[in-house]
Amino acid sequence: MHGVDGSRGMLEIARQKGLYQELKHCILGQEPLPLPTGQYDAVIIVGALSEGQVPCSVVPELLRVTKPGGFLCLTTRTNVTNLQYLAKLQGMLEDLEEQGLWAKVSTQEVEKWEKATSGQESTQNSDYISGVVYMYRKC
């Protein structure tokens, strides 16, 4: 299992866990991933695709490092404060599918994705933020 993060501190915490064979520093969406093309059977990005964090521009890079036939799992929040980002992300996902670069396997909405840290973030008078999980297979 390999990991990439823009925070050297988070990479150090990950290194201490002893789960990763390789860890690399990279500011996702601002620079190319420091990984070879077509190397990974599965690429997962969780908790990073949202407004003010990782831009949608990282998605083609995630696709680039995935092997043909490999899977990509992407997650994002669907609460009010992330709707503009979500619309842009969905447009990019659809464009990549229309180009024949990948095929959608599934989309799963999750009502209680994560605990909200403020009332602005929460969904429908809940203490939680909603989210969505996208699964694609590279063509």
Question: For 25-68, what is each residue's pLDDT tens digit?
Answer: 999 999 999 999 999 999 999 989 998 899 999 999 999 999 99
Stretch 116-129: mean pLDDT: 72
| Amino acid 80: pLDDT | 85
- 8 and 43 fall within a common domain: no
By residue count, the chain amounts to 139
Parallel, antiparallel, or unpaired: how do β-strands 40-49 and 66-77 relate?
Answer: parallel
Which of 87, 133, 135 is CA-nearest to residue 110?
133
- 43 and 26 fall within a common domain: no
- 41 and 94 fall within a common domain: yes
Q: 73 vs 44, 77, 114, 137, CA distance in Å?
A: 5, 14, 17, 9
Measured between alpha carbons, how far is 121 from 17 in angstroms, rounded to an integer?
A: 31
- 50 and 79 fall within a common domain: yes
What is the span of the domain harbouring residue 18? Answer: 1-34
Number of domains composing the chain: 2
pLDDT tens track for 78-116: 988 899 999 999 999 999 999 999 999 999 999 888 888
